[in-house]
Amino acid sequence: MTEKVQAIVIKTADRKEKDKNILLFSIEKGKTWATLKGVKGANAKMKIAQNLFCFGEFLLENGKFGQVVTGFSSLETFHEIGDDPDRYFGGIALLEVVNGLEFSGVGERKAVFVLLLRCLKSLCFEEVSQGLVLDKFLIELFKIYGFPINTEKCSCCGARTIEKFYFDYQSGELVCGNCKGFGSEELAKTTYSALKILSNCDLEKLSTLKLAEGSELGLLRVLVKNFESHFERNLKMIGILS
């Protein structure tokens, strides 16, 4: 039986001399491994489908050792991401986050899939830094999973006039100095400002933002720590946070 899915390649692994395994992320199936037969051959018809970030329509069939890709139609290769080191590291970080997720249903899968696709498009086609895209991606991801970050008030007492905000990694929310607990981290004013601006900015308008120098990286460290706390998955973010 042949199954058709629209998917993004989020991970790859060599298999045999000319085969390759690819981890596909789709709305229909979530994350699933499939094999590209003979794809490393010089005249392979589906050669492009082995590349990370590749978005297309895949035809899958059950084989002896798992699913096999029997047909492929490209919708967007995002090859420009691989041509630029900064964009590449940013793209790899996006895929790493998605690879660390579990999904409770089709609603979550769809929301994350659409968010990932939008972020890849922004990273590939717009003049925007990888840090901003990753920050926005994580902020929106937390909303999808039910713990949005309210930047207007203390999540504990509700106070709105606050001199210093702290990030509570247990709740994934901002608190004031009176409500901070063990392990809460004080946010630099530039980090808080970046969080507030990005929380209220459309993804497609990131290229118009002007943030304080270093604030997007400072915010990214906080958001990555929050992700690791909630999802119990360490993110390497090689080339960005290392």
Domain boundaries, the chain: 2-77, 95-231
What's the pLDDT score for residue 41? Answer: 77
Which one-letter DSSP state was computed for residue 219? H
**Helix axes of 189-199 and 215-231: crossing angle, nearest 10 degrees:** 70
Q: Quick one: tokens of 175?
A: 């608190």
Domain 2-77 has CATH 2.40.50.140: yes
**How much is the pLDDT for 242?**
63
Phi/psi-derived region of residue 199, left when phi > 0, alpha when psi is between -120 and 50, beta in every other case: alpha
Per residue in 90-147, pLDDT (tens digit) is 999 999 999 999 999 999 999 999 999 999 999 999 999 999 999 999 999 999 999 9
pTM of the model: 0.94
**Average pLDDT along the chain:** 93
Class of domain 95-231: mainly alpha
Are 220 and 235 in contact, with CB atoms under 8 Å apart?
no
Among the listed ranges 40-44, 155-159, 206-210, 233-237, which one has the minimum average pLDDT value? 40-44
170-187 per-position pLDDT tens digit: 999 999 999 998 889 999
Contacts of 164-169 spanning 24+ positions with Cβ under 8 A: 165/192, 167/222, 167/226, 169/225, 169/226, 169/229
